[in-house]
Structure 1
Amino acid sequence: MPVGGGPDACPTADRLAAFGGVAPAPRDSGRTRGNFHRPQRYHRRLRRAFSTSAPVSTWTGPSCERFHQHERSEGKRHTQAVIALARRRANVSRALVHDRRCHPPAPPVISTA
């Protein structure tokens, strides 16, 4: 699956997340269920792009900060919340490529004194 392909390179957001290494892969055996880990095969550069942009987006984007705080309020640790945010960013990226549109820039915040 080429990363630089067109909108049809990844048919679903789940496939892009798995290819980028931000989707958990099950490691179940016998009676053990719900044991997830990072997959062994994934695109290292794509994972780095998602995982480094996620914490930075919490500083600059209010919607990303709200999502991070929501995940933290559900009891997830900081690392788990950042991985969830990276997965969400993968979903948004795939949707933007699929719909052939750009991410709308946030309007500037004007504070009145």
Structure 2
Amino acid sequence: MVNTLARSVLALDEEIAAVDAKIAARFREHRHAEVILSMPDMGPLLGAEFVACTGGDMDAFGTAGRLAGVAGLAPVPRDSGRISGNMRRPHRYHRRLLRVFYLSAQIAARFCLTSKTFYDRKRAEGKSHKQAILALARRRLDVMWALIRDQRTFEAEPPQRGLAAV
């Protein structure tokens, strides 16, 4: 009985690997695939889920802030009467899109030096782990938006200003 169960588990593992390979191959055909994969710790499966959540068209959102609002990474006001400036996490948001950036930020906080530095800075500011990861996720969303908008790949060093004028 154990032998039969072990074979079925191995067969399922092979089937999952085959499906992952098909997803990755299909994702690499997308026009933004190279840009998305250039982001540190954004693999083909998370990239494919990002494309599926956004419909593959970033123009539908207009700005990075709108995309962050849809993903649940932008605070919404909780004002009433004369009280203003109270911000909170939204209750309604695209959970799969938030998951893409949350998982990406969690992985980047461990393995990407730039993201780890940002995460450590947020933790030093007194934020909890979840708050620091969400802040990193929002930052990564903004970077992803800029990369797709400018049609360029991610580079560890930011572009230098003023070189075009010289």
Normalising by the smaller structure, the TM-score range is: 0.7 to 0.9
Q: Give the direction of change, closer, same or farther, for the CA distance of 1:54–1:26 in structure 2 (3 Å limit).
A: same
Are 1:59 and 2:110 matched, yes or no? Answer: yes
Q: How far apart, in 1, do the equivalents of 2:96 and 2:126 lie?
A: 29
Aligned to 2:128: 77
Question: SS at the partner of 1:19?
Answer: helix
Q: Percent identity of the aligned residues?
A: 49
Give the alignment of 1:12-51 within 5 angstroms.
Answer: 12-51=63-102
Aligned to 2:54: 3
Structure having the higher helix fraction is 2
Aligned to 2:140: 89
Aligned to 1:111: none
Return the offset for 1:35: 2.6
Which one has the largest radius of gyration?
2
Q: CA RMSD in A?
A: 2.1
Count of residues in Structure 1 that have an aligned counterpart in Structure 2:
105
Return the offset for 1:105: 7.3
Return the offset for 1:81: 1.1
Q: Can you give the 5+ residue segments of structure 2 that lack an aligned partner in the other structure?
A: 1-52, 158-166
Q: How far apart, in 1, do the equivalents of 2:115 and 2:155 lie?
A: 14
Question: SS at the partner of 2:84?
Answer: coil
Structure 1 stretches of 4+ with a deviation exceeding 6 A read: none
Return the offset for 1:69: 1.1
Q: Can you give the 5+ residue segments of structure 1 that lack an aligned partner in the other structure?
A: 107-113
Report if the CA contact (8 A) 1:7-1:100 is conserved: no
